[in-house]
Amino acid sequence: MEPSLRGAVVVRSYLGPNDERSLADDVLDGLTRPLKELPPKHLYDARGSELFDAICELPEYYQTRTERLILETFADDVVARTGAAELVELGSGSATKTRVLLDAMAGAGTLERYVPVDVSESTVHAVAEMLSEEYAGLSVHGVVGDFERHLSHLPAPPGPRLVAFLGGTIGNFPPGSRRRFLRGLAKVLGDGGHVLLGTDLVKDPRVIEAAYDDGAGVTAEFNRNVLHVVNRELGADFDVDAFEHVAFYDRRREWIEMRLRALDVQHVRVEALDLDVDFAAREELRTEISAKFTRERLEGDLAAAGLALVELYTDPDELFAVSLARRR
């Protein structure tokens, strides 16, 4: 019961030797496909998390400041509707927007516990320490883990639970897995629990493409970082500088893709897997998709997961949306 004690801070890690397997399996599976692909979670080692924070500050990356504005405008309403005592945050990263929700919960006198969940161990530890210092009496139960596999390790909620999944990260799932993931998420809401989902909205493709291909090249460095991760963790010999960053909006699917394009023919050895991978000149490796949403897409996904939209909050320019939903 220690995580429920007022002011207690614990961090539990569920990433172990098997999770090196997860990178190994993803590399083996993804680099031997006709369209080479790696899941975006491997972008976020400590360096990748720092680079993502830098992306959030870029002028082109409208998502972070817009989502923050929406939260600042509507956080009190979210808390009034949910009575949340616990905030679980999936893919919490450095939790910059989290304080807006915690402040509203503290203001309403409901705040008891914060549960950050992220694959990036360094950020979970940093956030757990920082927020427990900032909010007197707040219990923090950090979970270092994969939100696709470790949600069963969430502690029992001390009261009404609010699960926040911000930053548009839900868009990284392809449509089928997205609904499967949301169904799993619905199961951990508990009685009277709610989910708060941040999603980027469909808009002028030029605005979206600029957000994933900034002038300062930070997103390019973030994207290439996944090759450093594979080199370090699996003894591979990617020539990282021989790949260029590509971001394009797929108008039919309404998602943006990040890819890495080999500038020339490349032979890569992945020592830990005894694997040789060849890239043709200009061959691409897909590293992320980020789906953009309409109200209809959101309602369809939520309904398929047994969830009902309670409120859809957006900004005046309708760039981004934050949806509050509960189990039907």
Ligand X SMILES: C[S@@+](CC[C@H](N)C(=O)[O-])C[C@H]1O[C@@H](n2cnc3c(N)ncnc32)[C@H](O)[C@@H]1O
For residue 29, CA distances in Å to 64, 145, 273 come to 32, 21, 11
Which is nearer to ligand X, 279 or 313 (by Cβ)? 313
- Is residue 121 within 8 Å of residue 15, measured between CB atoms? yes
Residues 35-64: x/- map of binding to ligand X (CB under 6 A)? Answer: ------x--x----x--x---x-------x
Least distance in angstroms from the C-beta of 5 to ligand X: 26
Asked if 169 is part of the footprint of ligand X (rule: CB under 6 A), the reply reads: yes
Least distance in angstroms from the C-beta of 266 to ligand X: 26
Which is nearer to ligand X, 139 or 219 (by Cβ)? 219
Nearest CA-CA partner of 258 in 241, 268, 245: 245
Residues 70-99 that bind ligand X (CB under 6 A): 91-93, 97
9-13 and 139-144 strand pairing? parallel
Write the DSSP string, 106-125. HHHT---EEEEEES-HHHHH
Tokens of 76: 């009190």
Which is nearer to ligand X, 147 or 313 (by Cβ)? 147
Which is nearer to ligand X, 54 or 303 (by Cβ)? 54
Which is nearer to ligand X, 64 or 323 (by Cβ)? 64
Judged by CB under 6 A, the residue of 104, 166, 182, 208 near ligand X is: 166
Asked if 146 is part of the footprint of ligand X (rule: CB under 6 A), the reply reads: yes
Asked if 288 is part of the footprint of ligand X (rule: CB under 6 A), the reply reads: no
Asked if 147 is part of the footprint of ligand X (rule: CB under 6 A), the reply reads: yes
Least distance in angstroms from the C-beta of 280 to ligand X: 29
Residues 107-126 that bind ligand X (CB under 6 A): 118-120
Can you tell me the distance from the alpha carbon of 157 to that of 85, in angstroms, rounded to the nearest whole number?
8
Least distance in angstroms from the C-beta of 119 to ligand X: 4
- How many residues contact ligand X, by CB under 6 A? 19
Nearest CA-CA partner of 162 in 77, 245, 241, 42: 77
3-state per-residue secondary structure call for 145-182: CCCCCCHHHCCCCCCCEEEEECCCHHHHCCHHHHHHHH
Nearest CA-CA partner of 128 in 142, 146, 148: 142
Least distance in angstroms from the C-beta of 257 to ligand X: 15
Least distance in angstroms from the C-beta of 90 to ligand X: 7
What are the start-end ranges of the E strands in the chain?
Answer: 9-13, 36-37, 86-90, 113-118, 139-144, 161-165, 194-200, 243-250, 255-262, 266-270, 275-279, 284-291, 307-314, 320-327
Least distance in angstroms from the C-beta of 105 to ligand X: 17
Asked if 167 is part of the footprint of ligand X (rule: CB under 6 A), the reply reads: yes
Can you tell me the distance from the alpha carbon of 70 to that of 90, in angstroms, rounded to the nearest whole number?
18
Which is nearer to ligand X, 19 or 268 (by Cβ)? 19
Positions touching ligand X (CB under 6 A) are 41, 44, 49, 52, 56, 64, 91-93, 97, 118-120, 146-148, 166-167, 169
